[in-house]
Amino acid sequence: MKKKPSLSRRDFMFKGAAALGAAVVFPRVVPSTVFGANAPSNRITMGMIGMGLMMGGHLHGMLGRNDVQVLAVCDVDGRRRESAKGQVERAYANQAADGAYKGCDAYLEYEKLCARPDIDAVFVVTPDHWHAMCSLAAIKAGKDVYCQKPMTLTIREGRLMSDACKQYGTVFQVGSQQRSEWAFRKASEIVRNGWIGKVHTIYTSLGSFAPPTTLPAQPIPEGFDYDRWLGPTPWFPYNAERVKGDYGGGWRRFWEYGSRKNGDWGAHHFDIIQWALGMDDSGPVKFVPKGWPGHRYQTHYYADGTKVLRDHPVWGGHMIQFIGTEGEVMVSRGGRLDTRPVELAQAPLLPSEIHLYDSSDHDGNWIDCIRTRSTTICPAEIGHRTATICHLSGIAERLGRPIHWDPAEERILDDPAAERWYDRPRRAPYVL
Amino acid sequence: MRNKLSSIANCGIILAVLLALAASAQAQDGADLVKQLCGKADAPVRDAAQLAQAYQEAIDYLMPLMSADDVPSRYNYQIMFQDMGSYAARPGAETERQAMAKVIVANLDRADMLDVVRHWFVLQLERIGAGESVPALVKLMAADDRHLADYARRALEKNPDPSATEALLEKLSSAEEAAWKIGLLNSLGQRRAAEAIERIAESLGDADPNVASAAATALSNIGGAASAKALFGVLNKPLGPVSVKVAQALIDIAQERTAHNDVVNAGKLCVAVYNWATKLTRDPNGPNPFSIRVAAINGLMTCDPDKATEEIVNIIRDGDPRVGRVAVQVARQAPTTAPMRALARVLPELPPHYQVQVLGLIADRGDLSSVGPVKRVLHSDYEAVRLAAIDTLTEIGCDESAEALLDIAVNGSGAVQRAAREGLALMAGPRVEEVIRASAASGDVKKRSAAIGLLGKRRVPGVAEALMGYAADANEEISSAAFKAMVDVADMVDAGTLADLVAKTSGQGARSSAGAALRAALTKAPDKAAAAEAVIERVRNSTGEVKVTLLMSLDAAGGPAALQVVTEAAQSSDEALREAGIRTLGNWPDFAAADVLMKIASNSETSLTHYVLAMRGALRLIVTSDSAPLEDRVNLCFKAFDNARRDDEKRQVVAAMGAVPSPKVAERLLALAKEGDFKAEAALAAVELAGSMLRRDREAARDLAQKIRDLNVSDDVNSRAEAVMRGRPMRGRGR
């Protein structure tokens, strides 16, 4: 990780909401000698909650680090839980002198994992509807937290989580890892520094899932705690498709557990757009669903009129296209960055220009910040603001009408029925 | 008789057709009606009674479809029903909302309704219901279907009518099952029902800790003095299973009080909770709710910053490390810089890991007055502390910081020196630029050189002119530093002017740096031909080492004019010039140099060194010139192979052939792989070629791989060929 200072950096922390988006906070990479790391007692001890599809990469990464020790795993699926425990123990056994290791516990209930005083930090990599409950339990128990994107299922959850992180001094990272990719940072710096003039239109491509569906009841597999899988969401009969972790569908296609593509890819691309526009502490003011008169594409508007069109064709098949009065920036994963004029892509920043937070390893950034107690590249407030866009886009889609939003007060305006979506009631006995 | 039967049959058919048409028309009517009620089709103006009738008709149409045996088909109709509700509940349509809610309520008792459909109906009441829905929802809370009861409870939680609170409270009084109690407590908390505080407080003493915890959470959601009083009632008792939860609830209430500017009461809450948690930690066998202490001191930082500051300094000096590690964050979030400054004052005496954290805090706040304490740890025994101090000075950004870092940039070593240089390259702030410019202008040569390097890195406007001036300095070290710095601003430098400077440069080191700067300027020149022409002119007018330096920059520009000059040089009788020309040709950026390179390589009088240089240049062009005509690349391959003097170069040519996707090359490689001295190289190159052909011509690629596999040259080649045949070529040559 390389540091990039900027005058605006400290604004992020201290000059109030308006400057938050100018964030340039960098973690200091501290060699282990300072902390005596790598001695077992000085490793960051870790609990992993939600051992499904997305956890694979995180777990593999953590098991490969000698400054981290995974002590526990947690999942509602018994088979998956035991398999993860075995994976952890095999990995550590391979590193042990005697080739043996038994020191990873497997939990059904995240509450028990969070109650362990010997665990410093947790990954929350469950489906979206469990993010807030697991994260808040961990935060209040004094753990640092990495929570997958989108950070929440509802807007209120995000407000509670961000506030709790401040209260409890949590080092919190949201899994919007595009912030830790060079091309997205560079694109955001180009926009933030006005190199393409005033940005007025942004296209982004999120793709689509198959529509949600009603599913016939199936027997609940043995060892799978379906009630806990549903958690706070409304009861529906069990069906394997409902609970499946699948990038192309599974639970992701249901509104009950997320915001569909708005939450799935929007949590990445809307996040970068917020970053580039310097709106990390704020957000758009109007959300219009696809098909509303005059709107061929789902669109949201910022107060200055800048509009973001979802799934409008993007030049060169890119993920995001920023269009300004003096140029354009197109950016995608894999380091793809194109600009008009072309030389902008490689042009260096001056010391006096805005240098955004520089991270090249999202998980590593969190670990570094745990050690230095610094702010991560994507803390809870940023994750909350991005997730809010995902949720409001979804609410407008479901209500079939535009939603007006006050990002300062965090209120849906002039629509009592829409206001009810600010949070969702939770099924008993699940309490946030 | 037959006629009669025939008539009856005909009548039956007609009747069936009419019935089918009627059903279809009814369905069409139902679908149209739903569209109207969703706002997706023009609708007549309807009064309340007509609306009720329309909603009932729509439900009659949707109900069987929402209950169809084909379960997935139900979804669309569920969504139509939901869309009707969303549209009815739009702003300014209260009559429609109420009409629809009443119709939903009226249908909840239908015996023909499936449980899952009834759940869906109640879910719509959660979203649009008001006072008219409460009695029906209260009734449903007593349903045998526990899922339905909970749907109803949640619908009441969202219901804006005050009677919903009364209903939930009444239900709580008779609730027995723990989960049900928790749900009711949670609903009352979410409704922020102050009238429920007393009843909720009773649940704080519930035998089931989960129920008691839910009560604490509900009270924290309601907030206020009465809730706090009830929670203190539990906190002041001996430690129990919900004590920590109660303390968390009090912290939340303190935050709520602070948000309402009631800092006095918020402060009292924080102090009480902090003292409670601190007292617990004195018992080594008791629990250590360190996170509660952190949250309390965090709250106190807003309400009583002096007291909180004093406490965090104490903690970080000699306290629970779990609290101490968060104390820095408490200071980071503080509304004033006082806590940060208090920590800065004790910085030198802290353990190194705290020093790193406090340095990060000072950096985040960019506090100019803390430069002194930071400088005191700048030479710590711990490199991590030194690096953090450098980061912090970079962030603070002022003349004093810049001076301190310049000293390390000049006299330091390793990672610390690099960090200082990187920091200075980006440092912003008052008088930083002046310090660096002044250091570049005069003084110690080593320091001047470092500062000149920084000028390039910082790329501030006008820097190119300054560097041109330093490049002309009589001191070779200064001149060399300026040329090196020009690489960073090459896009701002005019190639012709720079070439003139090269001509004036004396000393091997400076000239080498000047050549690199010129190459960079040509690479970045917006008009390469014009830039090349400017340099060519100076090549023609110069001699000796200057001419060689200028000449060797021309490959960075490319183009026919430059190639002509370099080609002439490569054939010069002047040995130094000839070598420079051949070396430059060897680096030529495009295929235009291929012929002349082959000519040099194939000339038997060419010296071995020049032959090798030319051959390498040609090999590079074979591999990299994707945009050149394929036939030309093929010919170059064959010429290079035929003209190679030694087996080493022949092997290299064979290897390079693997990058030329041509049937002729494939054929040649196959032939070479069958027999002779280059079997192994040819086979490997052929497999690579096959791998690269997979995307364009899968069949030809597999055929080539199969042929190589059949030759059975080696295990390695065989496995690679098989991988291509499977469509998944191996990466790397891996010999």
Report the chain A residue with the minimal C-alpha distance to residue B129: A417
Distances (CA, A) of A309 to A6, A192, A204, B89, B407: 31, 19, 6, 27, 51
In a domain, B311, yes or no: yes
A374 inside 8 A of chain B by CB:
yes
- Do residues A315 and A423 make contact, with C-beta atoms less than 8 angstroms apart? no
Test the A interface: residue of B40, B78, B81, B86 with most A CBs within 10 Å: B86
Smallest CA–CA distance, residue A115 to chain B, in Å, is 11
- Do residues A120 and A45 make contact, with C-beta atoms less than 8 angstroms apart? yes
A16 inside 8 A of chain B by CB:
no
- Do residues A67 and A143 make contact, with C-beta atoms less than 8 angstroms apart? no
User: Cα angle vertex A349, ends A345, A350, to 5°?
Assistant: 155
Given this model, what pLDDT does residue B285 score? 80
Whether the link from the prior residue into A348 is cis, omega within 30° of 0, is no
Instruction: Round to whole Å and give the CA distance between A61 and A54.
Output: 12
Given this model, what pLDDT does residue B573 score? 92
CB contact under 8 A, A427 and B459: no
Distances (CA, A) of A122 to A171, A366, B427: 11, 11, 36
pLDDT digits (tens, 9 = 90+) for B677-692: 999 999 999 999 999 8
pLDDT at A35 over 60: no
Q: Name which of B109, B124, B118 is nearest B154 in CA terms.
A: B124
The mean pLDDT of B474-490, rounded to a whole number, is 96
The mean pLDDT of A27-35, rounded to a whole number, is 46
Instruction: Round to whole Å and give the CA distance between A65 and A45.
Output: 11
Residue in B119, B178, B383 closest to A31 by CB? B383
Instruction: Round to whole Å and give the CA distance between B262 and A414.
Output: 29
Q: In angstroms, how far apart are the furthest CA atoms of chain A?
A: 70
Q: Name which of B190, B186, B116 is nearest B158 in CA terms.
A: B190
Smallest CA–CA distance, residue B518 to chain A, in Å, is 19
B706: left (phi over 0), alpha (psi -120 to 50) or beta: alpha
The mean pLDDT of A385-393, rounded to a whole number, is 98
The mean pLDDT of B533-541, rounded to a whole number, is 95
Q: Name which of B100, B108, B149 is nearest B129 in CA terms.
A: B100
**B346: exposed, middle or buried (Cβ count in 10 Å: 0-12, 13-18, 19+):** middle
A14 inside 8 A of chain B by CB:
yes
Q: Specify the long-range contacts of residues B439-447, CB closer than 8 Å, at least 24 apart.
A: B439/B406, B440/B466, B440/B470, B444/B410, B445/B475, B445/B477, B445/B478, B446/B410, B446/B477, B447/B406, B447/B410
Instruction: Round to whole Å and give the CA distance between B25 and A242.
Output: 36
Task: Using DSSP, state whether A406 is helix, strand or coil.
Answer: strand
pLDDT band of B333, cuts 50, 70, 90: confident
Across the A:B interface, residue pairs with CB atoms under 8 Å apart total 205
Which tokens is B274 given?
């902090």
A39 inside 8 A of chain B by CB:
no
The mean pLDDT of A18-30, rounded to a whole number, is 38
Provide the CATH number for the domain formed by A7-178 in this structure.
3.40.50.720
Given this model, what pLDDT does residue B14 score? 64
Test the B interface: residue of A139, A241, A371, A372 with most B CBs within 10 Å: A372
CB contact under 8 A, B364 and A6: no
SS3 of A38-103? CCHHHCEEEEEECCCCCHHHHHHHHHCCCCEEEEEEECCEHHHHHHHHHHHHHHHHHHCCCCCCCC
CB contact under 8 A, B214 and A431: yes
Q: Which residues pair with B127 in a beta bridge?
A: none
Comparing B646 with B15, which gets the higher pLDDT? B646
The mean pLDDT of A258-269, rounded to a whole number, is 96
The mean pLDDT of B255-265, rounded to a whole number, is 94
pLDDT at A8 over 70: no
Residues from chain B contacting residue A416 (CB–CB below 8 Å): 89, 91, 160
Comparing B456 with B731, which gets the higher pLDDT? B456
Smallest CA–CA distance, residue A381 to chain B, in Å, is 13
Q: What is the dihedral of CA A45, A51, A54, A58, to 10 degrees?
A: 20
Q: Which residues pair with A323 in a beta bridge?
A: A201, A328
Q: Name which of A354, A408, A365 is nearest A12 in CA terms.
A: A354
CB contact under 8 A, A401 and B248: no
Given this model, what pLDDT does residue B16 score? 59
CB contact under 8 A, A168 and B387: no
In a domain, B292, yes or no: yes
Q: Tokens 């199969």: give the residue.
A: B706
Given this model, what pLDDT does residue A36 score? 47
Instruction: Round to whole Å and give the CA distance between B274 and B347.
Output: 25
Q: Which residues constitute the domain of residue B330?
A: 223-336
pLDDT digits (tens, 9 = 90+) for B367-376: 899 999 999 9
Residues from chain B contacting residue A6 (CB–CB below 8 Å): 428
The mean pLDDT of B420-437, rounded to a whole number, is 94
pLDDT digits (tens, 9 = 90+) for A302-328: 999 999 999 999 999 999 999 999 999
Smallest CA–CA distance, residue A3 to chain B, in Å, is 8
DSSP class of residue B69 equals S
Q: Name which of A420, A287, A36 is nearest B123 in CA terms.
A: A420
pLDDT at A5 over 60: no
Q: Name which of A210, A137, A125 is nearest A173 in CA terms.
A: A125
Tell me what the pLDDT averaged over chain A comes to.
91
The mean pLDDT of B296-305, rounded to a whole number, is 92
The mean pLDDT of A124-144, rounded to a whole number, is 97
Q: Which residues of B100-131 are buried (b: 16+ CB within 10 A; e: fewer)?
A: bbbbbbebbeeeebeebbbbbbbbbbbbbbbe
Q: What is the dihedral of CA B71, B75, B81, B82, to 10 degrees?
A: 130
| Alpha helix stretches (DSSP H) within B442-557 | 445-458, 463-471, 476-488, 495-504, 508-524, 528-540, 544-551
Residue in B184, B382, B425 closest to A34 by CB? B382
Q: Name which of A422, A12, A162 is nearest B255 in CA terms.
A: A162
CB contact under 8 A, B75 and A214: yes
Residues from chain B contacting residue A25 (CB–CB below 8 Å): 364
Smallest CA–CA distance, residue A5 to chain B, in Å, is 6
CB contact under 8 A, A163 and B255: yes
CB contact under 8 A, B428 and A6: yes
In a domain, B294, yes or no: yes
Structural domain tally of chain B?
Answer: 1
pLDDT at A6 over 60: no
Given this model, what pLDDT does residue A29 score? 46
Q: Tally helices (H) and strands (E) across chain B.
A: 41, 0
A401 inside 8 A of chain B by CB:
yes
The mean pLDDT of B180-205, rounded to a whole number, is 98
Given this model, what pLDDT does residue A23 score? 36
DSSP class of residue A181 equals S
Task: Using DSSP, state whether B135 is helix, strand or coil.
Answer: helix
Residue in A3, A34, A351 closest to B391 by CB? A3
Q: CB neighbours of B363 closer than 8 A, spacing ≥ 6?
A: A5, B391, B392, B394, B395, B396
**B501: exposed, middle or buried (Cβ count in 10 Å: 0-12, 13-18, 19+):** buried
Instruction: Round to whole Å and give the CA distance between B694 and B593.
Output: 30
Residues from chain A contacting residue B123 (CB–CB below 8 Å): 234
Given this model, what pLDDT does residue B324 score? 86
Residue in A28, A141, A142 closest to B356 by CB? A28
**CA dihedral over B543, B545, B546, B549, signed as positive or negative:** positive
Radius of gyration of chain B (CA): 42
Instruction: Round to whole Å and give the CA distance between B480 and A195.
Output: 33
Among the ranges A26-30, B83-87, B356-360, which has the highest mean pLDDT value?
B83-87
Which tokens is B59 given?
């439900």
Interface of A with B in 93-132 (CB under 8 A): 117
- List the single range of B320-334, B454-468, B620-634 with lowest mean pLDDT: B320-334
A1 inside 8 A of chain B by CB:
no
Report which residue type is found at B718: N
* Phi–psi pair at A243, nearest 5 degrees: -100, 0
Residues from chain A contacting residue B72 (CB–CB below 8 Å): 213-215
pLDDT digits (tens, 9 = 90+) for A183-208: 999 999 999 999 999 999 999 999 99
Given this model, what pLDDT does residue B399 score? 94
Given this model, what pLDDT does residue B261 score? 93
pLDDT at B731 over 80: no
Residue in B86, B326, B329 closest to A398 by CB? B86
The mean pLDDT of A276-295, rounded to a whole number, is 97
CB contact under 8 A, B384 and A237: no
pLDDT band of B3, cuts 50, 70, 90: low
Tell me what the pLDDT averaged over chain B comes to.
93
The mean pLDDT of A42-49, rounded to a whole number, is 94
CB contact under 8 A, B160 and A398: no
Residues from chain A contacting residue B38 (CB–CB below 8 Å): 400
Given this model, what pLDDT does residue B507 score? 85
CB contact under 8 A, B352 and A34: yes
Given this model, what pLDDT does residue B429 score? 87
Given this model, what pLDDT does residue B732 score? 59
Which tokens is A252 given?
């992701």
Residues from chain B contacting residue A9 (CB–CB below 8 Å): 364, 366, 395
- What is the DSSP annotation of B218-238? HHHHH-HHHHHHHHHHHHTSS
Residues from chain A contacting residue B148 (CB–CB below 8 Å): none
Q: Name which of B638, B635, B600, B642 is nearest B617 in CA terms.
A: B600
Which tokens is B20 given?
């089918």
Interface of A with B in 133-192 (CB under 8 A): 140-142, 163, 166-169
Percent residues over pLDDT 70 in chain B: 96
In a domain, B433, yes or no: no
Catalogue the E-assigned strands of A183-303.
Answer: 199-204, 245-246, 249-250, 286-288, 299-301
Radius of gyration of chain A (CA): 22
